[in-house]
Amino acid sequence: MSLLSNTTVLLGKELRTEFRSRELLTTTVVFILMVIVLFSFTFDPTYTESRRFGPGLLWLAFLFAASLMLQPCFLREQNNDTLSALRLSVSDPFAIFLAKLIANTLFLLFTELLMLPVFAILYNVPVLHVAGQLVMVFFLGSLGVSIAGTALSAISAQARMRELLLPLLLLPILTPVLVSSTQVTVGLLDPAPFIEWKGIGFLVVFDVVFLTALWLFGEYLLEE
């Protein structure tokens, strides 16, 4: 019960501070928009190329944007040593991670859904008929990115060269999520859409494994 109530209170704090500062959302939206627009203007992909390479480009943009978004996740808790205050106040430190990863997933999902129509228009890829399935893939992929990213953000925040460290650690670990999410998205954007269940299954397993690891060992990542 404490975990649930602490997580709810902390999630409220995460959402409130973000919607007040709009630091993370603005950075992420602008970054993804720039990648999609620039790629479209530079390569001017054909209809077939868009369907083949578009999903990979989209997920790469999401991944790089996420590495930008996740950087300040724990870093801004260090400015006033607020992380220490949280550690002293919560009964289960996992609540700190849980609130942050839920918030990060929501921010990432929000950004992805905002960018989907832009992608569909610029790359001439119809998405409305598979919107529900795409939201499911976006959710599973974003959750995987957020779980691993939140954990690594806690590690990198305490290290030297922290700005460089997070992408260096995050991107290799998230390669399987990138590949699976892209495969499923390619299937959904096919003229005869289909769900790549193997990819979905992999994303679910990835999320469960990393969430369990975070639950078991997360407390040690917060220690000074």
Partner 1 sequence: MTSPGFSPTGIRFENIEKRFGRLSALRRIRFEVDPGECVALAGRNGSGKTTLLRIAAGLVRPSSGEITFPSSAPGGTGTRNGASSGVSKPAISQPAKVAAGFVAHATMVYGELTAEENLLLFARLQETPNAAARVQKLLQEVGLFERRASLVRTFSRGMRQRVAIARALLHESSILLLDEPSTGLDPQGVAWLAATLRQLRDAGCTVLMSLHGESEISALATRAVRLDAGLIVADTRAGAEMHSILTFADA
Choose between 167 and 218: whose C-beta lies nearer to partner 1.
218
Provide the token pair at 211: 């969430």
Going by C-alpha positions, the residue among 57, 55, 59, 62 that lies closest to residue 186 is 55
Choose between 21 and 46: whose C-beta lies nearer to partner 1.
21
Give least dist CB 2 to partner 1, A. Answer: 7
Give least dist CB 90 to partner 1, A. Answer: 6
Q: Tell me the one-letter amino acid at 146.
A: S
Choose between 103 and 174: whose C-beta lies nearer to partner 1.
103
* Distance of alpha carbon 211 from alpha carbon 209, whole angstroms: 6
Choose between 88 and 192: whose C-beta lies nearer to partner 1.
88
Give least dist CB 33 to partner 1, A. Answer: 25
The number of CA neighbours under 13 Å toward the Cβ of 200 is 13
Using alpha carbons only, how large is the chain's radius of gyration in Å? Answer: 18
Give least dist CB 58 to partner 1, A. Answer: 31
Considering Cα of 152, then 154, then 160, then 164, what sign does the dihedral take? Answer: positive
Choose between 3 and 135: whose C-beta lies nearer to partner 1.
3
Choose between 44 and 224: whose C-beta lies nearer to partner 1.
224
Provide the token pair at 143: 């959750």
Going by C-alpha positions, the residue among 158, 171, 207, 215 that lies closest to residue 7 is 215
Asked if residue 22 lies in contact with residue 157, where contact means CB atoms within 8 angstroms, the answer is no
Chain residues binding partner 1 by CB under 8 A are 2, 5-6, 9-10, 13, 16-17, 20-21, 79-82, 84-91, 217, 219-220, 223-224
Spatial neighbors of 190 by CB under 8 A, at least 6 apart, are 51
Give least dist CB 21 to partner 1, A. Answer: 6
Asked if residue 167 lies in contact with residue 67, where contact means CB atoms within 8 angstroms, the answer is yes
Give least dist CB 6 to partner 1, A. Answer: 6
